Amino acid sequence: MEKHWGFYGRNSELAEIEKIISSGRWFFCAISGRRRIGKTTLIQRALKQRPDIQHFYFQVPDSDERGVVQAFQEALEDQGVDTPTAQKIHTFSDMAYLICGLCEIGFIATIDEFQYFHRKGLSPFTSFLQAEVDKLRDTKKGGLFVLGSIHTEMTAILEDHDSPLFNRVTNRISIDHWDFETLFEMFDAHEVEGARHWLFLWAIFEGVPKFYRDCFDQGILSLRDDYRQSTLLNLFFEGSSPLRDEATNWFLRELRGRYDSVLKILANRGPCSYSDLKSEYGRAGSGGEKQLGGYLSTLTDRYQMVEKLQPIFAGKSSRKARYVITDNFLAAWLKAISRNVQMARVQPKPKPLERTDKMLAVHEGYAFEKMIRHLTEEASQKGVGDFELTDIIRGYWNKVDGSDIEIDLVASNEDARIVRFGSCKRDADAHTGQSLKKFATHIDRFLRTKEGKQFTGWTVEKALYSPEFTAKQRKSLGEKEYLCIDLLDFRRVLYG
């Protein structure tokens, strides 16, 4: 039977949009989320269920006022929107006036890439839009969705006190990655059955719907054999590969200065302390390390491309913090894919493909820890897991380089006074006698630290995580009082 790409998950978001549309009054709704997360598809899906509503969609180009106005005019023509003023669009003021006019006759308008109006050359549009939005308040027809992929720029446009659009938004929706329940639904629909295959895909694409759709369109999503190199070849290495320039076009072009250098260091080194990052960054040239703090702050707060991790019980100002790239795709691209795509221009493809595969295996180790954290938290939040959390999951390290005590996962249930320590291995065979002894020693030493003593009198569980355990491994490790939890276990509790 021929498979088709469906619409997966997003039930709560669809319900929220339907509630907004059906409110019986004009609305101004801001929807934010990273690029390719499915904001536009979500709006299209919601409005497809309402054929009684007329809709106008406009994507703001990365251009100046003339380019934006021209693109707006073309969108009107392409979608057959015919109003008395549709042929008289020459300025931002005209654009705002027409959007207001569409709402007054019952249209719902969607402006995509709205964050571009934060730029100096385009920002005057927000003042013109404010004047029209104020006219529409308390009316009963139409509505406006604005979509944006850079959270802080959307916030600056809509929430800063000195912004013309401050306090005008009536609704806000944040679109996150697909959760794992939705991922397992999609995997089931396309017969993606192997746990290692799940990890490989998630370590690169996380929960970004567009990337999985690209796999489907290339006919490689459901591969059984050689899925790793076939996926990489078709998505990145061919001249027509859909993701060949994805990171450059949709991540790195937003950056200015030497932000990409910071990201490359983090991608290559993995979780990295500020001191190590500063030392490595300073090697690129004299004086540059003085700007590092500003770069990190921008990447963390504005672009949300970097995350600052702290060990359990550490304060925000702790010097034990580690910095990691937030987005799996960007980390995989910078660590392994980009450099080998370049290499493939001068070498036979099998060599850079093999090199990419090996480098991604290292990346998957870090990604697997992150995956287990998210899976455990989702299972607890939905009340279907074997461990009920009362706090988010963290790791523990007493030295930033992990040279002394390091524990991958520390999960706690304060109500039941249970703490679970977890060790994550990309391969179940890596849970050897030596690694188990090291894991147990680190737990014992942690429980004697100032932080660990907070678990005195609690029940202690030791859990081992891998993509898949055999029955023999479960029996052997279980006899040593270790819990064995794999991706198949999480699939059963989250999807059935």
Q: Any idea which of 62-71, 172-181, 267-276, 382-391 has the lowest mean pLDDT? A: 267-276
φ and ψ of 306, to 5 deg: -125, 140
Give per-residue pLDDT as tens, 104-114. Answer: 999 999 999 99
Q: What percent of the chain has pLDDT over 90?
A: 79
Cα 375 from Cα 466, distance rounded (Å): 13
Residue 127 Cα distances to 27, 73, 164, 168, 341, angstroms: 18, 20, 5, 12, 44
pLDDT digits (tens, 9 = 90+) for 281-332: 887 665 566 788 888 888 888 788 899 999 999 987 788 999 999 999 999 9
Specify the 3-state DSSP secondary structure of 35. Answer: coil
Residue 285: the pLDDT is: 61
CA–CA gap between residue 253 and residue 250 (Å, rounded): 6
Cα separation of 216 and 211, whole Å?
Answer: 9
- The pLDDT tens digits of the residues spanning 6-36 come to 999 999 999 999 999 999 999 999 999 988 9
- Can you give 203-252 as a three-state secondary structure string? HHHCCCHHHHHHHHHCCCCCCCCCHHHHHHHHHHHCCCCCCCCHHHHHCH
Region 195-224: what's the mean pLDDT?
Answer: 96
How far apart CA 22 and CA 187 sit, in angstroms, is 33
- Which tens digits make up the pLDDT trace of 260-273? 888 999 999 889 99
Following CA atoms 34, 35, 41, 46 in sequence, which dihedral angle do they give, to the nearest 10 degrees? Answer: 30
- pLDDT at residue 87, as a whole number: 64
Residue (of 12, 25, 10, 20) closest to 171 by Cα position: 20
Query: Which pLDDT band holds residue 1 (cuts at 50, 70, 90)?
Result: very low
User: For the residues 44-57, what does the mean pLDDT come to?
Assistant: 95
Instruction: Note whether 108 and 57 are within 8 A (CB).
Output: no
Give yes or no for a contact between 462 and 481, defined as CB atoms under 8 angstroms apart: yes
pLDDT band at 252 (very low <50, low <70, confident <90, very high): low
Looking up tokens 């055999």 gives: 470
What's the confidence (pLDDT) of residue 294?
Answer: 86
Is the pLDDT at 464 greater than 50? The verdict is yes
Output the pLDDT for position 389. Answer: 98
Q: What sign for the dihedral angle of Cα 30, 31, 33, 34?
A: negative
Quote the pLDDT of residue 289: 64
Residue 68 scores a pLDDT above 50: yes
* Domains in the chain: ranges and CATH: 11-174 (3.40.50.300), 180-248+334-365 (no CATH), 252-326 (1.10.10.10), 383-494 (3.40.1350)
Q: CA-CA distance, 396 to 450, in Å (whole number)?
A: 12
